[in-house]
Amino acid sequence: MWTILKRVPPAVAIVFTLAGLASAYAGSAYAAWVKSLYAANSQLARVSKCIQDCEATIHDRHFDCVGTCEVSARGAWYRENIALSKYADRQWWLWGLGFPVAMTAAIFVSMVSGQLPSVDLSGFVEGSIILFVASAIVAMLMIVLQQLAFLPASIAYAYLLARTSAAMTGSNRAPTEKSRRPVFRLLLIGIPAGVVLGLVITLVLPSFSWFAGIEVAWGLVFGASLALPAD
């Protein structure tokens, strides 16, 4: 992996790594915000506050503040939980589409600066379609299956990223699957490497999701696959 990556132009490595980091941080920050909304919707906290208010305003000592508050708090908690589900589902779309948007921006910047001579307009359009369709499919899988889809979705997405790279650089029109294999292998290596990187980043940014480091690793590998010749 190092033998290949050390040949990547520094500007490309920086742009794509930063793009992956921006996408990963945006998804992590939104997920942390959603988690805080659910934490704030605590049934126990609702009951406690309701009892305090009830005992402060009700002068009838025989009135059952505890029972009344438990019933009302449970109903309020359930309604709020339902209302928050739209934000929880939206986070998977942000995770799914944030990365292709970031990669598209990185490609555009690198093409304008002349760092990606092997990427032409037709290849860029074809690869972008694959990238966004693949991302939408992965997002829907995560909404339906949640954490159960993480590993298989990551492997499938790595393969589709390799296909995207091949489409953008014209390798799809070259002989065969062989040209995609090194990229796919590097993207697979990027899964455990990205998890380790994500765990390191969480030491500095606690709100960063440990698995989001995969996007940073993938950003670097994907950028490298576009910048280097097919061999």
Percent of the chain exceeding pLDDT 70 equals 86
What is the C-alpha separation between 144 and 31, in angstroms, rounded? 17
Residue 80 placed within a domain: no
Residue predicted with more confidence, 5 or 185: 185
Q: For residue 131, give both structure tokens.
A: 């990238």
Residue 200 placed within a domain: yes
**Could you give the angle at the alpha carbon of 22 between the alpha carbons of 17 and 25, nearest 5°?**
120
Domain around 137: 7-39+88-227
Residue 219 has pLDDT above 50, yes or no: yes
Number of structural domains found in the chain: 1
Residue 54 placed within a domain: no
The structure's pTM equals 0.78
The tens digit of pLDDT for each residue in 36-75 reads: 888 877 777 777 777 776 666 766 666 677 777 777 777 7
Residue 195 placed within a domain: yes
Residue 62 placed within a domain: no
Cα first-last separation, the chain = 14
The tally of CA atoms less than 13 A away on the side-chain side of residue 205 is 16
What is the C-alpha separation between 2 and 5, in angstroms, rounded? 5
Residue 124 placed within a domain: yes
* pLDDT winner (highest mean) among 60-74, 119-133, 172-186, 192-206: 192-206
**Could you give the angle at the alpha carbon of 133 between the alpha carbons of 218 and 30, nearest 5°?**
60
What is the C-alpha separation between 59 and 19, in angstroms, rounded? 61
Would you state the pLDDT for residue 69?
73
